[in-house]
C-alpha cells in the first residue's frame, strides 16, 4: 500500500491470472521467466534463476518477449514500475512490475479473452 491507496485501486485495468513464458531483455542480458498476472497495460513477471546480475531501476525501459499459448511471440517495450531482487550465493531471481508501452493488438486481444482475474484484498 502506497500513500494509503491499495495497488489494486490505483490500477486502471483489471489484472488477470496467467502462467505464461516470457523473456526479459535488459542491460544487454536476457532472462527467462514467467508472467504471473497481466492486464492490457501491464504485467507482473518473475524471472528464473540467473547467475548474471544487471542494474535495473524503476523507470528503466526493457524489452519483453511474451510467448502466447499459440506459440506466437510478441515483443513489447516496457517501463519498469517496480523491481525486487532475491539474491542467493550463486544466483539471483527478479520480480518486476512492468507497464507496457503501446501494447500490440495481438497482446491486447489475448488479454481481453482471459477469464481469471486477480483477487483483491478486502482489508
Query: String of b and e for 43-82 (b: at least 16 CB within 10 Å)?
Result: bbbebeebeeebebeeeeebebebeeeeeeebebebebee
Q: What backbone phi and psi angles, to 5 degrees, belong to 113?
A: -90, -10
- Tens of pLDDT, residue by residue over 36-75, are 999 989 999 998 766 666 666 667 899 999 999 889 999 9
H-state helical runs in the chain? 7-10, 105-113
**Confidence class of residue 22 from pLDDT cuts 50, 70 and 90?**
very high
> Is the CB of residue 36 less than 8 Å from the CB of residue 98?
no
**Of 48, 45, 58, which is closest to residue 92 (Cα–Cα)?**
48
Report all structural domains of the chain as residue ranges with CATH numbers, in order of start: 14-113 (2.40.10.220)
**Confidence class of residue 21 from pLDDT cuts 50, 70 and 90?**
very high
Amino acid at each position: 500500500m502506497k500513500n494509503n491507496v491499495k495497488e489494486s485501486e490505483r490500477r486502471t485495468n483489471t489484472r488477470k491470472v496467467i502462467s505464461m513464458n516470457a523473456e526479459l531483455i535488459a542491460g544487454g542480458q536476457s532472462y527467462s521467466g514467467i508472467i504471473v498476472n497481466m492486464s492490457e497495460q501491464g504485467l507482473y513477471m518473475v524471472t528464473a534463476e540467473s547467475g548474471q546480475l544487471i542494474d535495473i531501476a524503476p523507470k528503466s525501459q526493457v524489452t519483453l518477449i511474451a510467448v502466447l499459448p499459440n506459440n506466437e511471440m510478441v515483443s513489447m517495450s516496457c517501463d519498469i514500475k517496480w523491481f525486487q531482487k532475491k539474491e542467493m550465493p550463486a544466483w539471483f531471481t527478479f520480480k518486476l512490475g512492468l507497464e507496457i508501452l503501446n501494447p500490440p493488438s495481438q497482446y491486447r486481444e489475448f488479454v481481453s479473452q482471459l477469464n481469471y482475474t486477480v483477487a483483491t484484498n478486502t482489508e
